[in-house]
Amino acid sequence: MDAAQYDFAAPFIEPQGSPIRELFKYLGRPGMISFAGGYPSQDLFDRRGIGRALRQAYEADPVACLQYGDTRGAHGLRTSLARLMGERGVHCDADNVVVTTGSQQGFDLLIRMMIQPGDTAIVEEPAYPAAIQALRLAGANLLTVPVDAQGIDVERLEALLQTLPKGGRAKLLYTVPTFANPTGATLSAARRVALLRLAVAHRLLIVEDDPYGELRFGGEAVPSLLELTKTVEGAPDWVAYLGSLSKIVAPGLRIGWLIAPDAIQRRAIVAKQVGDLCTAPLLQEVARHYLDSGALARHMGAICGAYRLRCEALVNALQQFLPDELTYTVPQGGMFVWASLAQGKDATVLLRRAIEHNVMYVPGSAFYVRHADPGAMRLSFAAPGEAEVFEGVKRLKLALAR
Amino acid sequence: MDAAQYDFAAPFIEPQGSPIRELFKYLGRPGMISFAGGYPSQDLFDRRGIGRALRQAYEADPVACLQYGDTRGAHGLRTSLARLMGERGVHCDADNVVVTTGSQQGFDLLIRMMIQPGDTAIVEEPAYPAAIQALRLAGANLLTVPVDAQGIDVERLEALLQTLPKGGRAKLLYTVPTFANPTGATLSAARRVALLRLAVAHRLLIVEDDPYGELRFGGEAVPSLLELTKTVEGAPDWVAYLGSLSKIVAPGLRIGWLIAPDAIQRRAIVAKQVGDLCTAPLLQEVARHYLDSGALARHMGAICGAYRLRCEALVNALQQFLPDELTYTVPQGGMFVWASLAQGKDATVLLRRAIEHNVMYVPGSAFYVRHADPGAMRLSFAAPGEAEVFEGVKRLKLALAR
């Protein structure tokens, strides 16, 4: 059967799968050391604590766990998430929170209500590939603004917004302002305020995706864009915040949340009805029991401490084995070091040799909409242990030497 | 903030929420007897069996439960679901199955890849409201074909297809051919074959949503459209099958599956990447343990037996208390009796009085795209027990008498 016979929607005629997921087939190779994953470290999962929450949730109310649930999310979990947001400096209550099936769904709901084919959206670049992909599959006209070590370049964004024709104005901008994927960069406080002012002036919805913000192991915390909306007139109307338990509890729970202005929140609930009716009530109850037990607060120190050590190990190994071959910025949190090969070397070409040496990373091209830095690569320090990190970097050196 | 300031996508400017979910607020009233729910009966959940599967799944492999999973679904569950499909007469293997976050997501994935604003889609009418809503929010040009006691009227469908202009051809048709929601009707075998022939002739993708097919308590089984594709030349290219554990195990698991031609299946996986990355691995593992334990096979008899008794109770009560006020067809399975008020009475008007008498149902208008039968109502026999059914129908009689 010829696919053309189906008259697929335009973005689905020849859709690209995730370039990162294409690498998965190599992950299972014996002895492979991977800096490629965007996964949190499985040895940092609080297996016992989550297991306890699982038993408690099911024993306390099996019917609530097994029946359909409210589309906006269970009131108990929304209350717990509002409290968590309070600890992050954002005052809100259960009614401000919509539970989503991972933050990926939260972004998807926003795209559904905002973007029709041909509508303009902006992403920072480099950016999280599944965000780029989501906008592409919605048929968005995709524009980009570069990121540096201080996050998205707000001056470039302003220049871009001023060039847009009236009929082609940008409807939303997607950003991971804290410990970005892939760059690890954190948007400075000054730029955050400038970004919010631009959002108000240009009626641009800022989608603040914040899965990594709690994974800080160095430097000073910067308030979220959502928190800063109270300091910029009009800004509360123009920020939609996506939270996630994937990187701080476990991705398998598929628990995310959306905090957005009322008009957007109401439409998100309608969009979610047709998307999946509700997020699995059992997993919502597990998340609530886990959060309410205080286990997250106790466990975050262990996660951040481990990531700090692993990041240091990676940076030390890069300094020791590849002092001249790579440039990079040391992140203050998150899971990623964003590096660039010197001397015009190409990270996609190198990857083939690296895989032969049983080491992997993600070439930077995966994170660009159009013009990639060919030397860029994303190195995740989340998964490999310290000894593996050193061995992995040694193998990278061998691959580079060929 | 004026919603208009956001420039929402056209279908989201004034989106309608689910008319059924609007009724939820009355459900909690003390003493309310509800025929309104589309929910399976919670007292038929196999709490112990599912609880056992939950413990086994988490103990066997907590990391697999907590980490991200394959977008297409875990191989183990896909194998179990392929075996389940084998018991339903469809020969397939794990590679033919995509796990979805409920069958609602399965339909959503198909809409994403097929429907852009203005594209034509067809639904049977009356139809499942969330299917109508999903197509509306995608901006579909929505056409309808009436349903009678034998299911969708295939001759009317053929006539409709012949009137469509070439540029406006219908891309997909959504149907629940077995124990439809809301009518309870089952499409006859002859009509199934005729429907498949039309699908081939008109390149019309048939979306066969089959959540209720196993809930048969009377009459002879009819093969699924998917099974019948092997008898009609070309038909295997034109059926996408949606399965669900919601009505036979528990909706809270949010486990559905999609079986579709390769070109469609590949795109469904890409669409799912941006929708929610993966279905919760823990719940996939729970479903696999449950299915592989044989518990479903043992439990189905209890579910079907209970629904048979409840359906009989409802029909008996209707005969006893409302012999002249209502017409209806007795279903051979599923969860619904579709009834119509005699003497031009309006079910929406009656509902207000019914709620005052502490009894509820869903007025038929919720299931129509355009022209509702004002006297129609959906009565679910899934939830209330036998005594409640009689009391509920007595209250309906009181409401009607006013």
- Within 8 A of A66 by CB-CB distance, chain B residues are 42, 45, 47, 50, 250-253
- DSSP-assigned beta bridge partners for residue A336: A380
- In Å, how far is B52's CA from the nearest CA of chain A? 11
| Yes or no, beta carbons of B1 and A263 under 8 Å apart | yes
Size of interface A-B (CB pairs under 8 A): 231
What is the SS3 assignment for B365-390? HHHCCCCCCCCEEEEECCCCCHHHHH
% pLDDT > 90, chain A: 90
* A98 and A210 both lie in a single domain: yes
List the single residue in B130, B261, B274 with the smallest CB-CB distance to A134. B274
Q: Which of A12, A45, A67 is the closest to B252 by Cβ?
A: A67
Residues 6+ apart with CB under 8 A from B133: A270, A273, A274, B16, B18
Element (H, E) at A64: helix A62-66
| pTM, entire model | 0.96
Closest A-chain CA to B4: A263
pLDDT digits (tens, 9 = 90+) for A34-85: 999 889 999 999 999 999 999 999 999 999 999 999 999 999 999 999 999 9
CA nearest to A65 within chain B: B252
Of B42, B47, B113, the CB nearest to A9: B113
Contact: B47, A54; criterion CB under 8 Å: no
pLDDT tops 60 at residue A1: no
CA angle A253, A256, A262 (to 5 degrees): 150
Do the Cβ atoms of B168 and B141 come closer than 8 Å?
yes
Do A317 and A248 sit in the same domain of this protein? Answer: no
Residues of chain A with C-beta less than 8 angstroms from the C-beta of B263: 1, 3, 6
Q: Which helix (H) or strand (E) holds B350?
A: helix B347-356
Residue in B closest to A102 by C-alpha? B276
B108–A15 C-beta distance less than 8 A: no
CA distance B247 to A162: 53
Mean pLDDT across chain A: 95
Burial class (CB in 10 A: 0-12, 13-18, 19+), B293: middle
Q: Which residues of A touch B64 (CB under 8 A)?
A: 252
Strand partners, B124: B145
Residues A1, B280: C-beta atoms closer than 8 Å = no
Using an 8 Å CB-CB cutoff, list chain B residues near A63.
42, 45, 47
- DSSP 8-state symbol, B180: -
Looking at beta carbons, which residues of chain B come within 8 Å of A52? none
The beta-carbon neighbor of B102 closest among A55, A137, A277 is A277
Domain of B313, CATH number, reads: 3.90.1150.10
Q: What 3-state class would DSSP assign to B398? A: helix
Disruptive mutation site among B99, B123, B267, B303 for chain A (greatest number of A CBs within 10 Å): B267
Alpha carbon distance B314, B311 (integer Å): 5
Mean pLDDT of the region A16-24: 74
Composition of chain A by helix, strand, coil, percent to 5 = 50, 15, 35
Single-letter residue type at A221: A
Which pLDDT belongs to residue B26? 85
pLDDT, mean of each 10-residue run, chain B (402 residues): 80 84 80 91 95 98 95 97 97 98 98 97 96 97 96 98 92 98 97 98 97 96 98 98 98 98 97 96 98 94 95 97 95 96 93 95 94 93 91 96 86
Read off the pLDDT of residues A286-331 as tens digits, 9 standing for 90 and up. Answer: 999 999 999 998 999 999 999 999 999 999 999 999 999 999 999 9
Do B120 and B16 share a domain, yes or no? no
Same domain, B133 and B269: yes
**How far, in Å, are A318, B217, B332 from residue B309 at the CA level?**
71, 9, 12
From residue B190, alpha-carbon distances to B124, B154, B207, B232, B331 in Å are: 17, 10, 18, 12, 19
State residue A382's pLDDT score. Answer: 94
pLDDT at B4: 61
Q: How far is the C-alpha of B38 from the C-alpha of B29, rounded, in Å?
A: 18
H helices of B7-128, where?
24-27, 47-60, 62-66, 75-87, 102-114
Instruction: Give CA torsion, residues A14, A20, A24, A30, to 10 deg.
Output: 150
Q: Hey, of A274, A284, A289, A380, which one would you mutate to test binding to chain B, going by the most B CBs within 10 A of its CB?
A: A274
Spatial separation of the C-alpha atoms in residues A347 and A394, rounded to whole Å: 16
Q: Can you read off the two tokens belonging to residue B277?
A: 């990355």
Task: Kindly determine whether residue B17 and residue A269, on different chains, have CB atoms separated by under 8 Å.
Answer: yes
How far apart are the CA of A344 and the nearest CA of chain B, in angstroms? 33
User: For residue B104, which residues of chain A lie inside 8 Å, CB to CB?
Assistant: 274-277
Q: Is the peptide bond before B126 cis (omega within 30 degrees of 0)?
A: yes
Are A6 and B114 a contacting pair at CB < 8 A?
yes
Contact list, B271 vs chain A (CB under 8 Å)? 12, 137
Query: Pairing mode, if any, of strands B151-152 and B141-148?
Result: antiparallel
Coil, strand or helix: which one is A78? helix
Cross-chain Cβ contact A66/B47 below 8 Å: yes
Mutation target vs B (from A66, A133, A248; most B CBs, 10 A cutoff): A66
A368-396: per-residue pLDDT in tens?
998 889 999 999 999 888 899 999 999 99
Residue of B nearest to A49 (CA): B62
- Chain A: give the shortest CA distance to residue B17, in Å: 6
Q: Which of A15, A39, A112 sits opposite B270 (nearest CB)?
A: A15
Q: Based on the domain organization, do B208 and B125 belong to the same domain?
A: yes
Query: For B203-261, where are the alpha helices, taking DSSP H only?
Result: 225-228
Q: Which two tokens stand for residue A269?
A: 């609930």
Q: List the Cα angle B173/B176/B180 in 5-degree steps.
A: 140
* Chain A hits for B15, Cβ within 8 Å: 267, 270
* Residue A86: both structure tokens together: 């309070």
A331: nearest Cα among A382, A256, A371, A376: A382
Instruction: Please compute, for residue A318, the number of CA atoms within 13 A of its CA located in the half-sphere on the CB side.
Output: 21
Claim to verify: residue B354 and residue B316 sit in the same structural domain: yes
Domain boundary among B262, B295, B328: B295
The C-alpha atoms of residue A41 and residue A385 are separated, in whole angstroms, by 9
Q: What is the model's pLDDT at position B83? A: 98
- Chain A residues touching B67 at Cβ < 8 A: 39, 42, 45, 250-252
The per-residue pLDDT for range A235-278, each reduced to its tens digit, is 999 999 999 999 999 999 999 999 999 999 999 999 999 999 99
Task: Decide if pLDDT at A3 tops 80.
Answer: no
Q: Which of B229, B263, B295 is the last residue of a domain?
A: B295
Tell me, yes or no, whether A63 and A31 share the same domain.
no
Distance of CA A116 to the CA centre of its chain: 23
Contact list in A for residue B169 (CB cut-off 8 A) is: 7
**Could you tell me if B194 and B152 lie in one domain?**
yes
Among A18, A58, A66, beta carbon nearest to B273: A18
Give the separation between CA B353 and CA B345, rounded to whole angstroms: 13
Residue A4 pLDDT greater than 70, yes or no: no
Closest CA to A398 of A347, A357, A367: A357
Question: Between chains, do B45 and A54 touch, taking CB under 8 Å as contact?
Answer: no
Q: Do B263 and B162 lie in a common domain? A: yes
What is the domain extent for residue B327? Answer: 3-46+297-401
Same domain, A157 and A237: yes
Q: Are residues B165 and B191 in the same domain?
A: yes
Q: Are B382 and B310 in contact (CB under 8 A)?
A: yes
In whole angstroms, give the CA distance from residue A152 to residue A400: 31
Chain A residue whose CA is closest to B265: A3
The letter for the amino acid at B7 is D
Which of A246, A267, A281 minimises the CB distance to B12?
A: A267
At residue A386, the pLDDT reads 86
The distance of B9 to chain A (nearest Cα, Å) reads: 5
Q: Which residues pair with A152 in a beta bridge?
A: A147
Q: What pLDDT sits at residue A162?
A: 96
Residues of B with Cβ-Cβ distance to A115 under 8 angstroms: 9
Cβ–Cβ < 8 Å for A127, A133: no
Inter-chain residue contact A68 with B39, CB threshold 8 Å:
yes
Number of domains in chain A: 2
Is the pLDDT score of A164 beyond 80?
A: yes
The minimum CA-CA distance between A253 and chain B, rounded to whole Å, is 6
- Inter-chain residue contact B250 with A66, CB threshold 8 Å: yes
Each as own residue / partner, the long-range contacts of residues A139-148 (CB below 8 Å, 24 or more positions apart, any chain) are: A139/A9, A139/A10, A139/A11, A139/A115, A139/B116, A140/A111, A140/A115, A141/A168, A142/A369, A143/A170, A144/A368, A144/A369, A144/A370, A145/A173, A147/A180, A147/A183, A147/A185, A148/A185
> Which of the listed residues B244, B268, B295 is the one where a domain comes to its end?
B295
Contacts of B221 (CB under 8 A, 6+ apart): none
Query: Do both B279 and B321 map to the same domain?
Result: no
Query: Chain A: nearest CA to B101, how far in angstroms?
Result: 6
Answer whether A308's CB lies under 8 Å from A179's CB: no
CATH number at residue A240: 3.40.640.10
Instruction: Tell me the Ramachandran region of residue A376: left when phi exceeds 0, alpha when psi lies from -120 to 50, beta otherwise.
Output: beta
Question: Are A210 and A241 in contact, with CB atoms under 8 Å apart?
Answer: yes
Q: Which residue of A has its CA nearest to B7?
A: A114
Nearest to A397 by CA among A338, A320, A313, A335: A320
Strands B362-363 and B376-380: antiparallel
Say whether A252 and B68 touch across the interface (CB within 8 A).
Answer: yes
Q: Do B47 and A67 touch (CB under 8 A)?
A: no
Whether the upstream peptide bond of residue B182 has omega within 30° of 0, thus cis, is: yes
Distance to chain B for A92, nearest Cα, Å: 18
- The pLDDT-based confidence of A22 (bands split at 50, 70, 90) is confident
